[in-house]
Amino acid sequence: MTATFSETIQTGYSFKGDSIKLGLAMLDGKIVENAEVRLPLKTLNRHGLIAGATGTGKTKTLQLIAEALSDASVPVLMMDIKGDLSGIAAAGTDNSKIQERYAVLKETFKPAAFPVELLSLSEEKGARLRATISEFGPVLLSKVLELNETQEGLLAILFKYCDDNALPLLDLKDLSKMLQYAGNEGKAEIEKEYGKISTSSAGTILRKVIELQQQDADLFFGETSFDINDLMRIDDNGRGVINILRITDMQTRPKLFSTFMLQMLAELYTTLPEEGDLDRPKLVLFIDEAHLIFNEANKALLDQIETIVKLIRSKGIGIFFCTQNPMDVPPPVLSQLGLKVQHALRAFTANDRKSIKQTAQNYPESTFYKTEDLLTQLGIGEALITLLNEKGIPTPLAHTYMIAPRSRMDILSEVEINDLISRSKLIPKYNRIVDRESAYELLNKKLNAASAQNANQTGSPHATASAAKPKAEKSWLETAMNSSAGKQVQRSIVRTLFGVISKMLK
Ligand SMILES: Nc1ncnc2c1ncn2[C@@H]1O[C@H](COP(=O)(O)OP(=O)(O)OP(=O)(O)O)[C@@H](O)[C@H]1O
Ligand SMILES: [Mg+2]
């Protein structure tokens, strides 16, 4: 039996291209020598799931895979929601447990620190990730704000109006000002060229923008907008940079988090070229505590995530979702995940037992294991694994004793974090505060000019705000296309198209 098992695993987990060793397979609770469970780099763009009850080893698995990817020159982006990933930047330390694990696996523990860049969406230490409202585009923004069709139509008109009138929409302040203007002083002027404006729709959108601001979305919208290529850096030693996005404060701002996720996925999709099948991915994303996105996302956002997860594969991007219960991931997304690393599940309630049964059914049948029973018996740092081989066929289910990470299995100290920050190449680029003249300031100027004109021409009852329309020599679109901001505009156009395509795909 062991010989057949060993052969099944060896055949199932041998790949032509490069692969990462995850551990050794186990049968009847015992480690089987030479039964290596490996992960081929080529199929990492088929995405993955790392699931399991609390404390069973999900984060360590994520750390192990991220380390191996960095070694293989693949950059990584990790969402650090619990704040327990920074240790990747420091070498691990030996202890008896690690020694024991490595001895069993017949490997030598070689501690290593990895190149890490800390990123942030808020005031946490790290290079700031931001995006402008115009980059977001009306389609994506409507999804985030949960707008109906009429409201979405209005938003599209306002984006167009801003394009035509040299009014850059950079942050939420610009958007709010534009909405106020459209519902009041600017209504007549806009209606003349763009058709009817519903004041109540403008009011509703404005209320939703305020809701978003209550989750501190102001921190995210604006300049300097993040260039996605900065996530794909290789260090001087040829190792992929591990970007750690520190978002411990996102648990209380789920809407901001899902907004950011969606924007980033769309950005990756629109910016990167079509790649076909690469030998290794260009970037791998790990989303720890992924239930946070799925629990809070509305239907439109979920549909969008599903579409992007499907399409982004061809751009050479792999996404790994990490969550306690695999049922946290909506079925359409779950069905897109090629790699599954399932750590132990706990059966406390009837509901737990139901979900364990369902989980077991989602795995390939195995003659070696009783999957449903095994799911609750797995030890810490052990997992049930199946993935797609290079032909796209699921590998045999393998109860795996996982290798321990080589970097620190704990966090960095404040001093170590400060040191990392001081060496950052991205912080000087992204952490300057920029608030250049945009829609907010320009509309205020326009209104002031109009009221001054009104005061001067008290005899003329026909003076309107439009009389003060700034004279753009070229349209904003023309100027912007030829300027450094041109890239942003082009992206937002592509994004709008992308929204249309994703609608058609549904
Ligand atoms: N591959 C491994 N090698 C060595 N030790 C491990 C391994 N996996 C897990 N452990 C041990 O188990 C502990 C918990 O693991 P981990 O933090 O990865 O759990 P988790 O599933 O992410 O939990 P949570 O849901 O609470 O985040 C670790 O601190 C470590 O001591
Ligand atoms: Mg964890």
Specify the ligand 1 atom closest to the Cα of 54.
Answer: 25
State mean pLDDT over 402-422. 96
Q: What are phi and psi for residue 474, nearest 5 degrees?
A: -115, 165
* Rounded Cα gap, residues 284 and 404, in angstroms: 20
- Point out which residues pair with 77 in neighbouring strands: 243, 285
Q: What is the pLDDT of residues 235-246, one digit of tens each?
A: 999 999 999 999
pLDDT of residue 469: 40
Q: What is the pLDDT of residue 451?
A: 78
Strand intervals (E) in 67-155: 76-80, 116-120, 127-128
- What is the pLDDT, as a whole number, of residue 251? 75
Note the pLDDT tens digit of each residue in 359-404: 999 899 999 999 999 999 999 999 999 999 999 999 999 999 999 9
Residue 399 in contact with ligand 1 by CB distance below 6 A = no
**E-only strand ranges, 221-291:** 242-246, 283-287
For residue 288, the ligand closest to its alpha carbon is 2
Q: Which pLDDT score, from 0 to 100, does residue 499 have?
A: 56
152-156, 351-355, 435-439, range with the lowest pLDDT: 435-439
55 pocket-lining for ligand 1 (C-beta < 6 Å): yes
Residue pLDDT, tens place only, 178-213: 999 999 999 999 999 999 999 999 999 999 999 888
Whole-number Å distance between alpha carbons of 136 and 405: 37
Q: Please give the pLDDT value at position 495.
A: 54
**What's the confidence (pLDDT) of residue 476?**
38
In the chain, % of residues over pLDDT 90: 67
59 Cβ closer than 6 Å to some ligand 1 atom: yes
Q: How far apart are CA 110 and CA 115, in angstroms?
A: 16
Write down the pLDDT at residue 199. 94
Q: How many other C-beta atoms are found inside a 10 Å radius of the C-beta of residue 7?
A: 12
More confidently predicted of 57 and 3:
57
Q: Is the pLDDT of residue 465 over 50?
A: no
Whether 34 contacts 23, CB under 8 Å: no
Nearest to residue 171, comparing CAs of 217, 122, 121, 228?
217
Q: Is residue 506 pLDDT above 60, yes or no?
A: no
**DSSP 3-state of 85:** coil
pLDDT at 297: 74
Q: Which ligand is nearest to the CA of 64?
A: 1
Residue nearest to atom 9 of ligand 1 (CA): 57
Instruction: Tell me if 468 sits within 8 A of 449, measured CB to CB.
Output: yes
Position 503 scores a pLDDT of 53
Q: Is the CB of 233 under 6 A from ligand 1?
A: no
Residues 190/499, Cβ–Cβ less than 8 Å: no
- Ligand 1 pocket member 404 (CB < 6 A): yes
Does residue 228 surpass a pLDDT of 90? yes
> Which tokens in the block code for residue 112?
């290593």
Residue 164 structure tokens: 């035509």
Q: Which atom of ligand 1 is nearest to the CA of 63?
A: 18
Is the pLDDT at 119 greater than 80, yes or no?
A: yes
Sheet (strand 48-51) strand order: 30-40, 19-27, 398-402, 382-386, 339-342, 48-51, 317-323, 283-287, 76-80, 242-246, 116-120, 127-128
Q: What pLDDT shows up at residue 216?
A: 83
The string of DSSP codes covering 347-413 is: --SHHHHHHHHHHHHTSPP-SS--HHHHHHHPPTTEEEEE-B-TTSPBPPPEEEEEPPPSB-SSPPP
Mean pLDDT calculated for residue range 408-433: 94
Ligand 1 center–CA 482 separation, angstroms: 51
The pairing of beta strand 76-80 with beta strand 283-287: parallel
Distance from the alpha carbon of residue 246 to the mean position of ligand 2, in angstroms? 14
For atom 30 of ligand 1, the residue with the nearest CA is: 57
Torsion sign (Cα): 260, 261, 264, 267: negative
Ligand 1 contact via 58 beta carbon (within 6 Å)? yes
Closest CA to 266 of 210, 317, 325, 220: 317
Ligand 1 in reach of 54 Cβ (< 6 A):
yes
pLDDT at 500 over 90: no
User: Ligand 1: which atom is nearest the Cα of residue 64?
Assistant: 1
How many other CB atoms are there within 10 angstroms of residue 103's CB atom? 11
The amino acid at 265: L
Supply the CATH classification number for the domain 2-129+230-424: 3.40.50.300
Quick one: average pLDDT of 309-335? 93
Q: Ligand 1: which of 58, 380, 382 to mutate, most ligand atoms within 8 Å of CB?
A: 380
Residue 464 pLDDT greater than 50, yes or no: no
CB of 48 shorter than 6 A to ligand 1: no
The DSSP code for 437 is S
The predicted structure's pLDDT at residue 490: 52
Residue nearest to atom 24 of ligand 1 (CA): 54
Confidence band for 215, pLDDT divided at 50, 70 and 90? confident
Domain boundaries, the chain: 2-129+230-424, 133-221+437-505
Check if 402 has its Cβ closer than 6 Å to any atom of ligand 1: yes
Ligand 1 centroid from CA 322, angstroms: 13
123-165 pLDDT tens trace: 889 999 998 999 888 988 998 888 999 999 999 999 999 999 9
Pairing of strands 398-402, 382-386: antiparallel
Residue scoring higher pLDDT (330 or 469)? 330
The residue ranking higher by pLDDT, 215 or 279, is: 279
Q: Please, what is the average pLDDT of the chain?
A: 88
Strand stretches in 4-101, DSSP E: 19-27, 30-40, 48-51, 76-80
- The confidence band for 494, taking pLDDT boundaries of 50, 70 and 90, is low
How confident is the model at residue 288, as a pLDDT? 87
Q: What is the dihedral of CA 62, 65, 70, 72, to 10 degrees?
A: -170
Q: How much distance in Å is there from the Cα of 337 to the middle of ligand 2?
A: 19
**Closest residue by CA, ligand 1 atom 18:** 57
